[in-house]
Amino acid sequence: MTDKTTGYPKNIYPALAIGVSFAVAMTLAGLVGGIGKGGVGERAGAWIDVLSGFIASHSVLRDGLLGLMVLVLFGVVVFLLHRIDRMHRLHQGALAHVEALYENSPDGTISVDAEGRILRCNDATVAMLGYPRRELIGRPVDSLVPAEARGRHEGLRRGFFAGSENRLMRPEKPVVALARDGRRLPVDISLCRARTPDGEVVIATMRDVSQQQRMVERLTEATRAAEIANRTKSDFLTSVSREIRAPLNGVLDMMTLIEREPLSRSVREKVRSAEESGAFLLALINQLEDFAAIEAGHVEMREEAFDLTAMLDGLHAMFSPPAREKGLNLDIRAVPSDPPTLIGDYTHIRQVIFNLLGNAVKFTDTGSVRLETTLSLSDGADAGMLSCTVRDSGPGIAAGAVNTIFERFAQTEEGRKRGGTGLGLSISRDLAERMGGHLTVTSTPGVGSLFTLTLPIRRANGSALRPVDGETDAKPEAPSTSPSTSPNTSPTTSPVDSCARPLRILVAEDNSVNQVVIASILRREGHDVEVVNDGRLALDRVGAAEAGDESGLDILLMDIRMAEMDGLAATRAIRGIGVPAERLPIIGLTGQDDPDAHARYVEAGMQDVLTKPLRVADLREAIARNMPAAVPSMHVASGRDAEDAATLIDRNIVDQLIETLPTDRMRALMARLGGETDRLAAILRAPESDLGARRAAAHELRGMLGNYGLDAAALCAARFERVGMSRNEREKEAARLVMLALRGITAIEALLDAPADASTGSAR
């Protein structure tokens, strides 16, 4: 059927309508896609017009369905052409974007082919290396590497092409690029692959890090200068503190000599006040030295076995007098009350607790100060935690100052009033952290403060944890008398025995005050003392004795720091004289309380080292420990001499214990001391005990007996540490030890029953 007006079949119109609509849609799509004039959409519209006429003029295509299919197919073709055109335009845009990034990057960028030729570069590369672009294009990239590194660079480049991963070339030192003028530029380089119609290329991005390197060098130099300045400051503090320490030690030593004289109670109190003032000044010097050591990074942490109870005893004895003078209740306790031997940094643990306890007593005017140690160590476990809390009823710390109280030189208003350096708490926290622990504080103004030290700790020798008895509230039971007590040197040890012949002792010391003090102590002990001013004279004296021109020597006390020849040089020279001089006991004297330094002195040839200010008991023990084998005083006095209380006990220590502790407490201590002596003596005589166990028991006995002033028994215990014995000898000496301890305890108990003695101050 045909249309009368046009003569076309009527069914052609729906097909044409659909086809034209599709073409129009394609044209609009092209316009929306930004193809514009002359694009695929416009051309498709023109083609639709032509195609419509063509279909209408051919009878073959007059069927509407066939026409529709052709038009749909044509529309698909037009749509695909449109997509291809759009993708082409997007691709061109992306290339333009990459091109812009490549050319305008602030980092130098080059493209290199598999043969190592530079295919292109950007302006930043030209500016960085100084080559014109035309000289870089086609140039081997290896020519931009210093000659000494080209072989390695070529291998790395080939390996990168053979690999499959991109990478950032950022070794420990920057890669060096060679500029046109010969400058070596440190650069960071990143590499990536790209495929091009001409094959695979590597794009290298170079960043000049010269400025950063100069900044690092300047920072390093500034840091080095600051470290030198800090080290100079620390050395200055150390040097000055040592110079102050020498005369101060002389003053304290003189006070020790005076205190040994018969004094009235009032004079003795004045002497002790002078000693306390000197000890306070010495503590300030120690803080300055600690601060200098921490600043310089010279603090050495050293773990060793120690007796926590003995530590607390010493602290109790130290702080009882000042607490009693202020009317404070000083309460020191341990949980459990009888802890096992522990392994830790004894020196620094004690130092931190000493600082905390000292501050508490210093700032508290009324009420109490309480130190409590809690050991968290399960049965069978060798590691645990030690918690030490110091609580006071002092003025407290203001809320705003709590966060800064551990800073160096930080002081509260109350602290400035009472004096001090403001370093104690800072040093304490630093030491706590170095030991793997932490130090914290909580405080309420007007109520008081609580400082808590928490540290990891270990059990020594796997000894069993003793059960807590009912006396967890008890104060420590064996006060020491010296702030310098250490686990390796008992606070008080035996004197040279009264039966021993006088020793010929040479003292090499350049400080006149120290000369007087040491000579006085030794002469009171009955020894023959000779004093020289420096190491050179000591060397000459030993040489003369070896040649037979002078009388022989038994022991040499050698100061470490002397002007013409120091103690170490003199010791080495003496050891080189010959065999007899090699056996001469040399005891070093130093103001440096540093275990590592002491070890160096022993390595130089000294048998022993004592720290100034010298304590009579320490000097006695060192002489007894290093006494020549021929001297009979290696054995404890017996008979009537041992019966004499003056030989059995050290009255200075016993008097201080009696003044510090109540009578009933002292009696309880004596009872416990007898039991502990029996227990440890059983280890000494047991056939199955090995040498290590016997020496450990003897060491514990020596320290414990010395703490109570039982000098004769302590000397007997010391023999087990240094002398090998047969089984029979061990049994005899153990029995003698128990006997001497029992007699010493009896002598102390007799003093407890005696009336007050105004001449000695030992009142009860």
pLDDT tens-digit map of 539-565: 999 888 777 666 678 899 999 988 889
Q: Across residues 381-410, what is the average pLDDT?
A: 83
The CATH T-level fold of domain 495-632 is: Rossmann fold (3.40.50)
∠ CA 494-500-505, rounded to 5°? 85
Rounded distance between C-alpha atoms, residue 10 and residue 6, angstroms = 9
Q: In this structure, which long-range contacts are made by residues 676-684, counting pairs with CB atoms below 8 Å and at least 24 apart in sequence? A: 676/704, 677/701, 677/704, 677/705, 677/713, 677/737, 677/738, 677/741, 677/742, 678/738, 681/734, 681/735, 681/737, 681/738, 682/734, 684/720, 684/730, 684/733, 684/734, 684/737
With 0-12 / 13-18 / 19 or more C-beta atoms within 10 angstroms meaning exposed / middle / buried, residue 55 is: buried
Tell me the pLDDT band of 692, cut-offs 50, 70 and 90: low
Q: How does pLDDT run across 134-173, given as a tens digit for each residue?
A: 888 988 888 888 888 777 777 777 777 766 665 555 555 6
Rounded distance between C-alpha atoms, residue 230 and residue 291, angstroms = 11
Q: In this structure, which long-range contacts are made by residues 462-469, counting pairs with CB atoms below 8 Å and at least 24 apart in sequence? A: 462/382, 463/340, 463/341, 464/340, 464/379, 465/336, 465/339, 465/340, 465/375, 465/377, 465/378, 465/379, 466/336, 466/338, 466/339, 466/340, 467/336, 468/335, 468/336, 468/337, 469/336, 469/337, 469/338
> Which pLDDT does position 521 carry in this prediction?
83
Most confident of 295-309, 449-463, 483-497, 591-605: 449-463
CA distances from 240 to 40, 237, 282 (A): 95, 5, 13
Q: How does pLDDT run across 34-72, given as a tens digit for each residue?
A: 444 445 455 555 655 655 565 555 554 455 556 666 667
Q: How does pLDDT run across 421-470, given as a tens digit for each residue?
A: 567 788 889 889 999 999 999 988 888 999 999 999 998 864 433 333 33
Q: pTM value?
A: 0.45
Helical (H) or strand (E) element with 331: strand 329-335
Q: How does pLDDT run across 71-121, given as a tens digit for each residue?
A: 677 777 777 777 887 787 877 777 777 677 777 788 888 888 888 888 888
> Which pLDDT does position 562 carry in this prediction?
86
Q: Across residues 300-322, what is the average pLDDT?
A: 81
Q: For strands 383-392 and 342-344, give the pairing.
A: unpaired
Q: For strands 438-444 and 448-459, give the pairing.
A: antiparallel
Secondary structure class of 501 (helix, strand, coil): coil
Rounded distance between C-alpha atoms, residue 102 and residue 619, angstroms = 82
> Which pLDDT does position 385 carry in this prediction?
92
Q: Are 591 and 513 in contact (CB under 8 A)?
A: no
Q: Does domain 636-764 have CATH number 1.10.287?
A: no
Judged against a pLDDT cut of 60, whether residue 479 lies above it is answered with no
Q: Is the peptide bond before 174 cis (omega within 30 degrees of 0)?
A: no
Judged against a pLDDT cut of 60, whether residue 191 lies above it is answered with yes
Place of tokens 């310089």: 296
> Which pLDDT does position 588 carry in this prediction?
92
For the domain spanning 299-462, the CATH number is 3.30.565.10
Least Cα distance to 490 among 698, 341, 669 occurs for 698
- pLDDT-above-70 percentage for the chain: 74
Q: How does pLDDT run across 6-33, given as a tens digit for each residue?
A: 454 555 555 555 555 555 555 444 444 4
The CATH T-level fold of domain 106-208 is: Beta-Lactamase (3.30.450)
CA distances from 401 to 49, 397, 412 (A): 93, 6, 7
Which of the two residues, 724 and 259, has the higher pLDDT score?
A: 259
Q: How far is CA 64 from the centre of its chain?
A: 96
Rounded distance between C-alpha atoms, residue 519 and residue 538, angstroms = 15
Beta-bridge partners for 189: 169, 206
Q: Across residues 300-313, what is the average pLDDT?
A: 82
Tokens of 57: 């003029």
Tell me the pLDDT band of 724, cut-offs 50, 70 and 90: low
Q: Across residues 561-583, what is the average pLDDT?
A: 84
Tell me the pLDDT band of 635, cut-offs 50, 70 and 90: very low
Q: What average pLDDT does the chain have?
A: 74
Q: Where are the alpha helices (DSSP H) in 371-485?
A: 399-402, 413-418, 424-434
